Amino acid sequence: MLSRIFATALMILAAMVAVQHGALRTIGLEGSCTSVQTLADGSTWVACKSGALAGRPSLASKSCTDAGVRGKLEWWHCPATIVSSAAGR
């Protein structure tokens, strides 16, 4: 009886770890984005695809601009990231 409870708890823990490490994205259940091109000014073009359970991710919270949907991909233009330098201090 105790071994069944332990085995069940171990399986639940393994599933939680797999989900935390991106298993849903890897098997296509969750949407994902890929950086396609980095421009000379440091900005990037990102293509996002939807998953079977979740739609395409929104990059609006990262200050990216939605450029529209073409085919199965949604395109985003993201500004260059600001890197602060502590060398001058």
Same domain, 16 and 41: no
pLDDT at 53: 79
Residue span of the structural domain in which 20 resides: 1-30
State pLDDT tens for residues 9-19.
999 988 888 77
Q: What is the percent of the chain where pLDDT is above 90?
A: 42
Residue 26 lies in a domain: yes
Residue 62 lies in a domain: yes
pLDDT at 87: 56
State pLDDT tens for residues 38-68.
989 989 999 999 888 778 888 999 899 999 9
pLDDT at 43: 92
Q: What is the 3-state secondary structure (H, E, C) of the chain?
A: CHHHHHHHHHHHHHHHHHHHCCHHHHCCCCCEEEEEEECCCCCEEEEEECCCCCCCCCCHHHCCEEEEEECCEEEEEECCCCCCCCCCC
Residue 61 lies in a domain: yes
pLDDT at 16: 85
Same domain, 35 and 49: yes
pLDDT at 70: 93
Same domain, 77 and 42: yes
